[in-house]
A and B are shown apart, each in its own frame.
Chain A
């Protein structure tokens, strides 16, 4: 799984740029499988991407087009997909994109992971021995995919903001 460290993500969105370039040879927020949530009013940034969560609500696919790969990634059988967006709406952290009538899942680039390599602050890392992250607390997230990413970012950054309040600074 790819993890993003909320403490050092600067919100530059280079991960989005290299993700969409790697998969489509073009740059667009619609083409990326990793999306940066930016809560500018409270200074939080977090790259949100499939975390191979324990719950996997996306697998409730009515046409059974989805399966789990050996690195924890979601595999899509494109011919079976009927573009109903059930998976997109099911993801509690808004990590599933949608383009050209197909959902977009992080496929870990099938090897070397472009965003992890490109991240200028090394906020992104890949854990081969992925633990199944629990997103239990976020199953109640509501609204658009962007709003769910924002709620996730807010929650993941709570401890960081508390540390700022108690005096932690960038070098401490």
Chain B
């Protein structure tokens, strides 16, 4: 099969565009991962794993040493309640 020169130019241009798009996607992905990683480091929280996975070993999670018990200074999640209000739950001594 022969290819018309203009078709080859179009194909090369499309390849260049596609390559650029892939590179851009990779760069964007890296940026997003970096941003997410930065955000996670700034406000650590407990890890969450699927309850359906009971297989031994081979965890895909990183073995980093960052503490998931670190605190943020955000206490706005707690406020005074109406003392006559029926509680939904209890934080009782244990």
Question: Is the pairing of A and B real?
Answer: no
